[in-house]
Amino acid sequence: MSRILALLKANTTSFPSDLIDAINSAGGSPVQIWSSDSGFYGVVAEGDASVQTAMSGHPAVACATSDSVPSAQSLDVDPGATELAGAWNTYLSSDYQTAVTGFYNSSMNIDAMLPPGGCNQNSSDAGDGGSGPLVASNDPTGSTNGAVDTSADPSGGAAQLGTPASGGAAGLATATVVHKERRAIVGTVGIAVGFVGGPAGSTAELTPDNNGTLSLAMIHAMNVYYDIAPKAAHLVFEVNVRRATLTLDPTTVPVPADPKNPAAADWEAAEAPWRDAALKAWGQTAGMPGVDGFISSASFSTPPDYAYAALLTNYPVAWESYTSDSRKVVYQLTGVLNDWKLAGAHFVFAHETGHTSGAPDEYAASHCSITDKSGFSNSANTNCENGNAASVDCLMRNNTKSLCPATPGHFGWNDSNGDGILDPFDSTYAT
Ligand SMILES: [Zn+2]
């Protein structure tokens, strides 16, 4: 079994749900679905050679391979697919994989790379579900038969992909998430991604190289989640990418007086100018209402069980990467690369994604406590490093591709009654 990338043909505005059927029929599993305002452009699946054959043979697929893509430039695909292929090729390269192995094996002194107080801002104690338009769908049943839903978009501003002609994109979810009152990283996870670049030649510019690096970080982070999640989580990621290139001068963005110890007001002060300009470009209002509109107006193949926004930028920020309100990830590429290097860039995205479920930081600088309760299970942060000799390195603490003991509960990956159904899918589980 390996990961297989299928690049979809240009202008695939209706998701070919029978591609998912073909993957499933051949014994594979979908892992990632990528789209932009122009259409769906990429699918990553897990499977063997027969899955690759099934994907290659689908009429919407321009190319499907578990190896590098040699000639994406010459394929009839959208620019997003070409960018994705470049990131995929880097992901598979021996240089990158060697660097990643070194990253996971290194014993890093990361205290200077972490914000005092943690990178998890304004989260509530328990999984923060139930309030706000956390998913793009207003379908309470979690049915996989719904068409792309536009009714939750308060602004009506952002472009929508074409609505599937019939029946919608079926076949992704094989189980229904019944506990949406709290956020769990299960089922179909929708990421409303915004690339926010500045003027060409400025420090805020997002170059094609930068965009490829951001795609690489996301491909890899989502693969990490797929690797460590229980199969019963039925995890599939959908990434919908929108882009904004702003005229805003990055030197006008206020940055913290002490960059190693930002004050409470610094986070919003640095983020608001570029975030709100980008939200406006996408037809949204300012602030968190606009972020929620950005999430709910994202176009996915099927209504996600769970969704969050990821704003990827080179504009100044108070800290290089953080999560706010359990549904907005901010990721500043220059800062991440300076501290974590290319090999660690995916890890930062994966760590912040963990916060979107309400999972807490576990490193000492976050001021965590083993008695703090949070996440889907509203359970204690038992691996918090402070005053805890038993604390181990893991996804929410330092740089290890493993789960901390408490994290499955925080993510909603426990099966409390042992019936083979994870708690978020289990109607007998009480949150
Ligand atoms: Zn964190």
Residues 413-422: b if buried by 16+ CB within 10 A, e if exposed: bbbeeeeebb
Is residue 345 within 8 Å of residue 393, measured between CB atoms?
no
Helix%, strand%, coil% for the chain, nearest 5: 30, 20, 50
Indicate whether 220 and 287 sit together in one domain: yes
How many Cβ atoms are within 10 Å of 150's Cβ, its own excluded?
A: 15
Distance 322 CA to ligand 1 centre (A): 7
Indicate whether 118 and 84 sit together in one domain: no
Distance 410 CA to ligand 1 centre (A): 13
Pairing mode, strands 236-245 and 39-47: unpaired
Indicate whether 133 and 250 sit together in one domain: yes
Is residue 189 within 8 Å of residue 235, measured between CB atoms?
yes
Q: State the Cα–Cα distance between residues 74 and 354, nearest whole angstrom.
A: 37
Among residues 326, 355, 384, the one where a domain terminates is 355
235, part of any domain: yes
326, part of any domain: yes
392, part of any domain: no
How many Cβ atoms are within 10 Å of 264's Cβ, its own excluded?
A: 10
Residue 245: beta bridge partners? 197
Distance 376 CA to ligand 1 centre (A): 16
Distance 110 CA to ligand 1 centre (A): 12
Distance 156 CA to ligand 1 centre (A): 33
Q: State the Cα–Cα distance between residues 348 and 335, nearest whole angstrom.
A: 11
Distance 406 CA to ligand 1 centre (A): 15
Q: State the Cα–Cα distance between residues 387 and 147, nearest whole angstrom.
A: 50
Q: State the Cα–Cα distance between residues 220 and 310, nearest whole angstrom.
A: 15
364, part of any domain: no
Indicate whether 192 and 80 sit together in one domain: no
Residue 279 pLDDT: 98
Ligand 1 ion local residues (Cβ < 5 A): 119-120, 361
Distance 132 CA to ligand 1 centre (A): 22
Place of tokens 């309100």: 325
Distance 295 CA to ligand 1 centre (A): 21
The pTM of the whole model exceeds 0.85: yes
Is residue 41 within 8 Å of residue 77, measured between CB atoms?
yes
Indicate whether 124 and 263 sit together in one domain: yes
Q: Which residues of the chain have pLDDT under 70?
A: 107-112, 124-174, 399
Distance 361 CA to ligand 1 centre (A): 5
Indicate whether 301 and 196 sit together in one domain: yes
Place of tokens 């590098």: 68
Picking from 270, 249, 253, 239, the residue whose alpha carbon sits closest to that of residue 205 is 249
- Tell me the two tokens of residue 344: 């660690």
Distance 191 CA to ligand 1 centre (A): 18
Among residues 63, 92, 121, the one where a domain terminates is 92
10, part of any domain: yes
Q: State the Cα–Cα distance between residues 294 and 187, nearest whole angstrom.
A: 21
401, part of any domain: no
**Alpha-carbon distance values, 427 to 171, 188, 189, 430 (Å):** 21, 18, 20, 8
Distance 392 CA to ligand 1 centre (A): 15
Q: pLDDT per residue over 159-189, tens digit each?
A: 223 333 222 334 465 689 999 888 999 999 9
Distance 263 CA to ligand 1 centre (A): 17
How many Cβ atoms are within 10 Å of 102's Cβ, its own excluded?
A: 12
Place of tokens 């999640």: 229
Distance 359 CA to ligand 1 centre (A): 9
Distance 119 CA to ligand 1 centre (A): 4
Indicate whether 238 and 321 sit together in one domain: yes
Residue 117, domain extent: 111-355
Indicate whether 238 and 186 sit together in one domain: yes
Helix (H) or strand (E) holding 29: strand 29-36
Distance 395 CA to ligand 1 centre (A): 9
Indicate whether 297 and 215 sit together in one domain: yes
Distance 98 CA to ligand 1 centre (A): 25
Total domains in the chain come to: 2
Among residues 299, 332, 355, the one where a domain terminates is 355
Indicate whether 338 and 298 sit together in one domain: yes
225, part of any domain: yes
Distance 345 CA to ligand 1 centre (A): 14
Helix (H) or strand (E) holding 35: strand 29-36
Indicate whether 72 and 134 sit together in one domain: no
37, part of any domain: yes
Indicate whether 168 and 246 sit together in one domain: yes
Is residue 8 within 8 Å of residue 61, measured between CB atoms?
yes
Q: pLDDT per residue over 75-129, tens digit each?
A: 999 999 999 999 999 999 999 999 999 988 886 656 667 888 888 888 765 655 4
Q: What is the CATH number of the domain that holds 40?
A: 3.30.70.80
